[in-house]
Structure 1
Amino acid sequence: MTARFICRTTAGKSAKSRMATVGAIAVAGALLLSGCGDQTKSKDEGGEKVSNAPLADKLPKDIRDAGVIKVGSDIAYPPVEFKDKSGKTVGIDPDLGDALGKQLGVEFQFDNGTFDTLLGGLRSKRYDLAMSAMTDTKNRQEGVDEETGKKIGDGVDFVDYFTAGVSIYTKKGDDQGIKTWSDLCGKKIVVQRGTVSHDLAKAESKKCKGGKKIAIESFDNDQQAQTRLRSGGADAGSSDFPVAAYAVKTSGGGKDFELVGEQVEAAPYGIAISKKNPELRDAIKAALDAIIKNGDYDKIISKWGVEDGAVKEALINGGK
């Protein structure tokens, strides 16, 4: 989940562009409890919701009849998606899912999974789509493993909904001179497994000279990586800018971490959908365009302080 803006990716050069300032991200801290949470609807309520929704007829019939879109998501990536103190799923993606659901007349049901298993869950039809600050990349579109270059599946289509970049952070007051990725040679970095940050670290390590490779420790989620850095088990961490900025602002009351250097690898976040389900893909695109047009999208993006990553229209497979 790196560049998750919140972004995540699998392509070395497709990270994310960063949006808001650290100060702006901080606004999210005061809004945690106001995010949309898990929803429950009776069947009668669901039927009425579908019939009254402006874009319900664009959905595949099986999803329209079920009244639910099953969303695979790594719900441990604040402020994109995470659990609040009451255990509800909140964040940018859940709020957007709620707005999209109103257009389509269905509930977006977020199901938790580790980031690197989400596309597999999509292939096995455990999920209808994956929405988890996932970077849209050509490799993911084509089903190519980033590390081996081998084709591992049919790939997915993306409906792009945000732009983000990748940042490095260190313990506060202990940046060890780290300003760029090349400065990490001979040092240890912690990242979330399967993210753009993970890919960048592996690619940069290959460039290191004099045998000073980057020691990389990867984790199931970003919060585990932060814990490792906080305890002194690494020299730096990397995440999508929004996530890194949020951690810097909130962890230890702002006393644990600091951002170093500039954001890199700007790229779009995409909602991943099976290539075998173009009807659902087009319905999601139509719903995203609708909430951009009616202002709901901007309200959500502004609420979480990430306006710099906002998009003006929904694109399909805009990642490079």
Structure 2
Amino acid sequence: MTARTIRRTTAVKSRIATAGAIVVAGSLLLTACGDQTQSGEKSVESSKAPLFDQLPKAIQDKGVVKVGSDISYAPVEFKDKSGKTVGIDPDLADALGKQLGVTFEFENGTFDSLLTGLRSKRYDMAMSAMTDTKDRQNGVDSDTGKKVGEGVDFVDYFTAGVSLYTKQGAKTGITTWSDVCGKKIVVQRATVSEDLAKAESKKCTSAGKGKISIESFDNDQQAQTRLRSGGAVVGSSDAPVAAYAAKTSGGGKDFEVVGEQVEAAPYGIAVAKGSPLAKALKDAMDAIIKSGEYAKILDKWGAGEGAVTEAKINGGS
């Protein structure tokens, strides 16, 4: 994740008439030389990063992009056993950093607070398996339809649908969302899975099949724990996350994905509305797609099915 700087010291030479003056001047020049090293540091950095000049000046000056993320959504972003932030998004951010000449620093937050943190300028961007939707672009609450903020711009970089998963071997008979009627489902709060569960519950009620009991959590790991303990019949999350949980949780013995994924839509990196950071990120993403580094990262995490051929700005619906 770190774009490492190369230090260069600019030599300053001066001829002074007296020996005493040489000593004094030499001391002053050493101090000045140290200052030039710091300012020259960014110059060398930017000269080696092809898209550095596209960044907003504030980010150029600090050399860091603050990233808001729910770091509990494996394999997109999560903590490994050593506590390091890893996954698809951190690896992509590393690659973007090489193109832009800055460091991307991930800060953990609950998913439903990330856009608020972005609006308050706590973060420069949010990168957290966030689906690009018109409601989010326009700052509209998807439940109430009311305006809740200015909205954001998205740089779309991946495509994922939503999957259902159950305890392995549970034989619930669930293969589609309509099969969830009258049952309890666990989801992460403020996600597409939660929206789908609410919409499907209304359909169930209208059809006289019994509403869906929805239990929402701050993060997906909590939802998985609840399902694992028998507190619900089924869970829902983004397709790559459900597949990863089925493959890894309990050594692959805890869960199984049921049915086909639905509602395929783009993941987007969210930035402030109208920010030039969107164009810089789009061009950087396109560069790593073209170089092949993007595909290598997705394949590493078993997520190649969600690859896109180009990044887009506000491509969600």
> In 2, distance between residues paired with 1:306 and 1:68?
27
> In 2, distance between residues paired with 1:41 and 1:232?
51
> In 2, distance between residues paired with 1:194 and 1:87?
25
User: Structure 2 regions of 5+ residues with no counterpart?
Assistant: 8-37
Deviations 1:170-229 (A, max 9, x none): 011113111111111110000000000000000000111336110000000000000000
The match for 2:280 among 265, 283, 287 is: 283
> In 1, distance between residues paired with 2:237 and 2:246?
11
Alignment check: 8 A CA contact 1:68 1:109 kept = yes
The match for 2:172 among 171, 176, 187 is: 176
> In 2, distance between residues paired with 1:227 and 1:42?
46
Which structure has the larger Rg? 2
Q: Does 1:56 align with 2:52?
A: yes
- Give the superposition deviation at 1:41: 7.0
The match for 1:255 among 238, 249, 253 is: 253
> In 1, distance between residues paired with 2:177 and 2:198?
11
> In 2, distance between residues paired with 1:51 and 1:289?
20
Letter of the 2:244 counterpart: Y
Residue in structure 2 matched with residue 233 of structure 1 by the alignment: 231
> In 2, distance between residues paired with 1:53 and 1:179?
48
Residue in structure 2 matched with residue 198 of structure 1 by the alignment: 194
Residue in structure 2 matched with residue 28 of structure 1 by the alignment: none
CA pair 54-167 structure 1, distance change in 2 beyond 3 A: same
Task: Give the TM-score normalised by the residue count of structure 2.
Answer: 0.86
> In 2, distance between residues paired with 1:63 and 1:276?
15
CA pair 121-46 structure 1, distance change in 2 beyond 3 A: farther
- Give the superposition deviation at 1:282: 0.7
> In 1, distance between residues paired with 2:269 and 2:153?
8
> In 1, distance between residues paired with 2:41 and 2:221?
35
Residue in structure 1 matched with residue 316 of structure 2 by the alignment: 319
Task: Give the TM-score normalised by the residue count of structure 1.
Answer: 0.85
The alignment of Structure 1 onto Structure 2 pairs a total of residues equal to 283
Identity of aligned residues (%): 73
The secondary structure found in structure 2 opposite 1:120 is helix
> In 2, distance between residues paired with 1:256 and 1:76?
18
- Give the superposition deviation at 1:299: 1.3
Residue in structure 2 matched with residue 294 of structure 1 by the alignment: 291
> In 1, distance between residues paired with 2:41 and 2:107?
19
Write the mapping of 1:57-76 to structure 2, written as runs, cut at 5 A: 57-76=53-72
> In 1, distance between residues paired with 2:3 and 2:87?
14
The secondary structure found in structure 1 opposite 2:298 is helix
The match for 1:242 among 236, 240, 243 is: 240
Letter of the 2:297 counterpart: I
The secondary structure found in structure 2 opposite 1:157 is strand
Residue in structure 2 matched with residue 122 of structure 1 by the alignment: 118
Write the mapping of 1:95-106 to structure 2, written as runs, cut at 5 A: 95-106=91-102
Residue in structure 1 matched with residue 156 of structure 2 by the alignment: 160
Deviations 1:111-152 (A, max 9, x none): 000000000000000000000000001111111100001111
The secondary structure found in structure 1 opposite 2:131 is coil
The secondary structure found in structure 2 opposite 1:150 is coil
Deviations 1:66-95 (A, max 9, x none): 000000000000000000111110000000
Write the mapping of 1:136-151 to structure 2, written as runs, cut at 5 A: 136-151=132-147
> In 2, distance between residues paired with 1:306 and 1:261?
18
Alignment check: 8 A CA contact 2:5 2:45 kept = no
The match for 1:80 among 76, 86, 101 is: 76
The match for 1:307 among 297, 304, 307 is: 304
- Give the superposition deviation at 1:306: 1.1
Write the mapping of 1:9-48 to structure 2, written as runs, cut at 5 A: 47=42, 48=44
Residue in structure 2 matched with residue 219 of structure 1 by the alignment: 217
- Give the superposition deviation at 1:51: 3.5
Residue in structure 2 matched with residue 188 of structure 1 by the alignment: 184
> In 2, distance between residues paired with 1:266 and 1:187?
24
Alignment check: 8 A CA contact 2:6 2:45 kept = no
